[in-house]
Chain A
Amino acid sequence: MHIKLEKRPAPSVAMMVLTPVLSVLLTTLIGVVVFDFLGVDGFGAVRDIFLTPILASYKWQDVAVKAAPLVIIALGLSVGNRAQVWNIGAEGQYIIGALFAAGVGIAAGDMGGPIVVLAMVLAGILGGALWAAVPALLKTRWDVNEILSSLMLTYVAGQVLGYLVGGPWKDPNGRNFPATAPLHDNQVLPIVFPGTTVHLGVIVALILPFAFWWLMARSMFGFQVRVVGAAPQAARHGGFDTKQTIWLALVISGAMAGLAGAFEFTGALHAINLGFPSGYGFTAIIVSFLGRLNPIGCLIAGIVLAITYVGGQVAQTTVHIPSSTAGIFQAMMLFLILASDIFIRYRIRFVTRRPQAAAVAGE
């Protein structure tokens, strides 16, 4: 008997939904074994990383605040990924978004209130979109690979941040620590539930997936993106503009990353320091794939990944492993989800080695 892969006539929807769930479960299983092997309390690590944030209600607000940027960025990235446009520079667009918001806040001086906060958030969207427009321009004008250019610009963004918070925007009262001055109370994003850290951005992150679902499933633009991604040749014949799709895919994903950066700054952190780029832009790529490039999937996957972030911090204090080990779990989930893609397009058959012999015996 041997295993044979058989191409499915149509991609399996059941597998598309099932494989992410299985990937998460399998990750926890492998996690227990691998961590035990490395001499760490594997069960404890998995429990703290995956379950404690769900079971301990005081951790929920942390999960919500961490999930918001992941979901928002992943929504934008999913649009690009569907069109086979690979923006892996969301981290940079996230940084620039936050910096634009900070710039508006600084320019506004003592002014505050809803209008100023809205202007800061819109500036964030603009900043992210502009930073993503560079790879879009290079791609459409000179066919420059957007994977490489967007990635390179992420590191440039990091240096822009370093320069601004260590130089012109450095808090004069900050004991020479490179960071912007904390936002005035009238420039921060409102908290939705008093007494928690859940800011307005979290609510937006809950609503946006449905807007994106409508955009991708029901609008002409969504159709265009899907066609360009699935069959570029057909798209050209159908009169769809490939360049326009590249522009939109990159600018939308950049705008979303910029929005997430602006929210994180005005809603959660209220100041920008050198630790501001925390890898959300890269993790959101995992979210996008784990959510199967589906907006609602991104919402769920964003919450799962946020749980591992919060859980990583829990595990750091309880089972004494570095919080970055949560990255092992995040990467394993992505490995498994990518590996399981094959089950969507193929069906596994167990074939007996001698089909002829079997046929003869059957007669």
Chain B
Amino acid sequence: MSIDFIIAAFITVVGLTTPILLAGLGELVVEKSGVLNLGVEGMMLIGAVCGFALTYTYGFDYPGIAPWGGILAAAAGGALSALLFGFLVLELNSNQVATGLALAIFGTGLSSLIGQGFTGMIITPFGSIFPDALATGRYSQVIFGYSPLVYFALAMVPAVHWFLNRTRAGLILRAVGENDLSAHSIGYSVKQVRYAAIAFGGAMAGIGGAYFSMVITPMWAEKMTAGRGWIALALVVFAGWRTGRLLAGAFFFGVLMTLELYAKASGFSLVPSEVWAAMPYLMTVVALTLISRRETAGGNAPACLGKPFLPTA
């Protein structure tokens, strides 16, 4: 195996890791607040189409700023669609599972409709912002050759970890997820905390989706996230609701997805490419089982996950 092959494979892994890492970090915060939002796939698609639409529309006149605006649009689109979910589950106490699924279906449909006018258009990929010498150098590209979104995703890992474990707001968020009634009774607004978490989760999913339409393919296609939203959900569970493991898990899933790609492209591998494709899901079920078995020894699943908040007063 040549060194160039390894470099190329590594860059592929990073590319596949980034969107699920972004969406996974968002969902981790949502779930830590006690809410299960299954609509990640829909929010990613809305983010993908919003990011693309804005970048395409302004890319010609403002090539320098447009992609950044696109990322903001993707985050806003994801957050807004998430707040629709938030309103239903927080204000009307609707079933979180069903509402999340509805959001996934809704996002798929809405993104197709919005994206209809943009099919077949191409934008400049939102690539590395480092000088070409660094970004395309044989070895330096391993560090400098990525889209700013990759560095953003990596920076968000310690940021989210620090927020959840070292700040007061993070502590309140976890308290709301572990015991909403107690948090409520000592005066914290469960709803506000959860709204904020849901909006953050939506924004991160939206940015993760934009990675597909603005970095990987630089064009819009219906259902282009191809089920990665569901992988992101699996990832959060696989990581046992921990940020460090989320990064490791995302990279591991990225490796599996890369193996699938190579197995498909070369048409030759020890096992069929479908085995690699199924692996993230199977591993998640296994991880879920191991976590649940350890539950008595202090599992990490937030205690209020998926349950409606029903204060008596």
Q: How far is the CA of A145 from the CA of B97 in the complex (A)?
A: 12
| Chain A residues closer than 8 Å to B282, beta-carbon distance | 152, 156
Contact A144 B292 (CB under 8 A): yes
Interface pick from B58-66, B87-95, B150-158? B87-95
Closest 4 CB pairs of A and B: A327-B109, A331-B106, A338-B94, A328-B109
Q: How far is the CB of A103 from chain B (nearest CB, A)?
A: 17
- Residues 322-357 of chain A, each 1 if its beta carbon lies under 8 Å from chain B, else 0: 101111111110110011011000000000000000
B259 interfacial by beta-carbon distance below 8 Å: no
B165 interfacial by beta-carbon distance below 8 Å: no
| Chain A residues closer than 8 Å to B198, beta-carbon distance | none
Q: How far is the CA of A282 from the CA of B107 in the complex (A)?
A: 14
Checking A142, A147, A148, A331 against B105 with a beta-carbon cut-off of 8 angstroms, the contacting residue is A331
B185 interfacial by beta-carbon distance below 8 Å: no
With contacts A144-B292, A152-B281, A155-B281 taken as known, whether A335 is within 8 angstroms of B230 at the C-beta atoms is no
Contact B101 A155 (CB under 8 A): no
Interface pick from B5-13, B127-135, B136-144, B269-277? B269-277
Contact B306 A147 (CB under 8 A): yes
B57 interfacial by beta-carbon distance below 8 Å: no
Q: How far is the CB of B173 from chain A (nearest CB, A)?
A: 21
Interface size on B, residues (CB 8 A): 47
A163 interfacial by beta-carbon distance below 8 Å: yes
Q: How far is the CA of A92 from the CA of B108 in the complex (A)?
A: 19
Which of B's residues lie within 8 Å of A, judged by CB?
36, 38, 84, 88, 92-95, 97-99, 101-106, 108-110, 112-114, 116, 222-223, 227, 230, 233-234, 237, 272, 274-275, 277-278, 281-282, 284-285, 288-289, 292-293, 295, 301, 306
Q: How far is the CA of A138 from the CA of B284 in the complex (A)?
A: 13
| Chain A residues closer than 8 Å to B289, beta-carbon distance | 138, 142, 144
With contacts A147-B306, A151-B233, A338-B94 taken as known, whether A38 is within 8 angstroms of B292 at the C-beta atoms is no
Contact B292 A153 (CB under 8 A): no
Q: How far is the CB of B135 from chain A (nearest CB, A)?
A: 35
A285 interfacial by beta-carbon distance below 8 Å: yes
Closest to A279 in B: B105
| Chain B residues closer than 8 Å to A148, beta-carbon distance | 233-234, 237, 284-285, 288
Q: How far is the CA of A322 from the CA of B116 in the complex (A)?
A: 7
A46 interfacial by beta-carbon distance below 8 Å: no
Q: How far is the CB of A141 from chain B (nearest CB, A)?
A: 9
Q: How far is the CB of B191 from chain A (nearest CB, A)?
A: 15
16 new A-B contacts, CB < 8 A, other than A38-B113, A144-B288, A335-B106, are A134-B285, A138-B289, A138-B292, A142-B292, A147-B97, A148-B285, A152-B234, A152-B281, A159-B274, A160-B278, A282-B104, A331-B102, A331-B106, A334-B102, A335-B99, A342-B92
